[in-house]
Amino acid sequence: MIIQKLNQLFGKKVVEMFLIAIGSFTVAIGFNAFLLPNKIVSGGINGLTIVLHEMFNWSPSLVLYIINIFLLIACFILLGKEVFMKSILGSLLVPLFISLLHGMPVATSDPILASIFGGALIGLGIGLVFLGNGSTGGTTLIAKIVQKYTHIKLGILVGICDGIVIISALFIFDLQQVLYAIISILLTSRMVDLVQVGPDLSKNVFIISPKNDEIAKLLMTELDSGVTYLPVEGGHRLDQMIMTSIRENKYTTVKQAVLEVDPEAFMVVSSANEIYGKGFTV
């Protein structure tokens, strides 16, 4: 994995700080170039600053600073030093970069393009911050504080906080703007997942066939794929199942090879976000 190699070269702390800084900068670009000029309230504290900017012309970066500093103090008191230290850098860098990039050229005036690319950029930035074991503060800290006393799942609490911000936008903007915001939120969430675990570039293939030994030999010798035998119990008899993990671009070749050996082979294919081991990470 790239992050592990960078940790070995530069040290874990340096890499984490770099990821948090780059992630925060990316969030600021998405906010200033796409969301703010198109008045797309993407949820969270960033979205709230757009509502307040529209209502009172308050500076988004200043509002972010005030809210995040207050939340960091509450975080230190209620959640402890460890969570505070993981949150402080991203919570302060995001408003700093938003302030520094204020007035940058607007990338597009099309609200659909703005919601797509703004949401994707912010998701990319947040994902990089998370990779650096950091936090951008905002609703995540609010959710963690509430979770400590209610034991509600963190994802649900973050969703509630984002929902409240979206509902508040209905009082300022029309429904169409809010629908654009929902597109942005969905893309942000998906991009965070992609950055965290990577795209689905590998597959797990499970095969049941009377010709398992022949299929296993084919996979290992001709297709250079590892094979694991798993005992399974069918409805009528005991069977053995083969599991093999492959790169996505090899799937069609493997499938055709298996079906040539046994056209009636039973196959189950699932996506694998990350695979560690020989042939994949080394």
Please state, in angstroms and as integers, the Cα–Cα distance from residue 196 to each residue in 10, 101, 126, 154, 192, following that order.
21, 26, 10, 17, 6
Q: What percent of the chain has pLDDT over 70?
A: 93
Structural tokens at position 259: 């079906």
Q: Where residue 199 falls among pLDDT bands split at 50, 70, 90?
A: low
- 219-243 exposure pattern, b = at least 16 Cβ within 10 A, e = fewer: beeeeebebeeeeeeeeeeebebbe
Which stretch, 42-46, 213-217, 276-280, has highest mean pLDDT? Answer: 213-217
**Rg from Cα positions in the chain:** 24
CA 171: distance to chain centroid? Answer: 30
Is the CB of residue 155 less than 8 Å from the CB of residue 110? no
- pLDDT, one tens digit per residue, over 140-197 is 788 888 888 887 876 677 778 888 888 888 888 989 999 999 999 889 888 887 887 6
Predicted model pTM? 0.77
Which amino acid is present at 196? Q
Q: Which of 16-25, 211-220, 225-234 has the lowest mean pLDDT?
A: 225-234
What would the mean pLDDT of 112-122 be, rounded to a whole number?
95
3-13 core/surface letters (b: 16 or more CB in 10 A; e: else): eeebeeeeeee
**Digit-coded pLDDT (tens) for 38-91:** 999 987 899 999 999 999 999 999 999 999 999 999 989 988 888 888 889 999
Closest Cα partner for 226 from 162, 271, 280? 280
pLDDT for the residue numbered 135: 84
- In this prediction, residue 104 has a pLDDT band, given cuts at 50, 70 and 90, of very high
In residues, how long is the chain?
Answer: 282
